Amino acid sequence: MMEILHCTVNGRPVEVGYDLRESLLDTLRDRLGLTSVKRGCEVGECGACTVLVDGVAIDSCIYLTCWAEGKHILTVEGLQGENGELTEIQKAFIEEAAVQCGFCTPGIILSAVEIVGTGRTYTREELRKLISGHLCRCTGYQNILNAVEKAVNVCNGYVGEKQS
């Protein structure tokens, strides 16, 4: 049975048909072509499908499309500036070499957007816990943690020594 979803995706109003049993992951990737949303474990364990729904990071593989009715959804495609410029968070990932194969990167970046959006500063251990829902097979997490820490510090105006 097909339904119509009305929501905002990356700042634009969207109306899209979907099957009632469909996950938001499937709707975003297969119907809207937003390929930054990765299909990983499909059980909410790896974080590759992370998107923001009304500013909150969720695993879109276990979030039904119907739950997104009237919501604001953000994917990595929605982060780029008017002229394609990167956000400070994306720049931090590049500067800290936190990207290797890139499969997990979009989800982690969106979690970093949520973290930065709190306006809080965090200890390194707190940041480690906040990104613990993401699996990365390439980087060993150190560079990812460095990038998230740098993004939080840059976006929240803190300039200081990197914590170890």
The candidate with the shortest Cα–Cα distance to 43, out of 20, 29, 59, is 59
pTM: 0.91
Fold category of 2-78 in CATH? Ubiquitin-like (UB roll) (3.10.20)
CATH superfamily of 88-155: [2Fe-2S]-binding domain (1.10.150.120)
Task: Output the tens digit of pLDDT for each of the chain's 164 residues.
Answer: 899 999 999 999 999 999 999 999 999 999 999 999 999 999 999 999 999 999 999 999 999 999 999 999 999 999 988 899 999 999 999 999 998 888 999 999 999 999 999 999 999 999 999 999 999 988 768 999 999 999 999 988 654 444 43
Domain edges within the chain:
2-78, 88-155
CB contact at 8 A, 24 and 35: no
Inter-axis angle of helices 105-117 and 142-155, nearest 10: 30
Q: What is the DSSP letter of 45?
A: S
Distance CA 26, CA 101 (A): 22
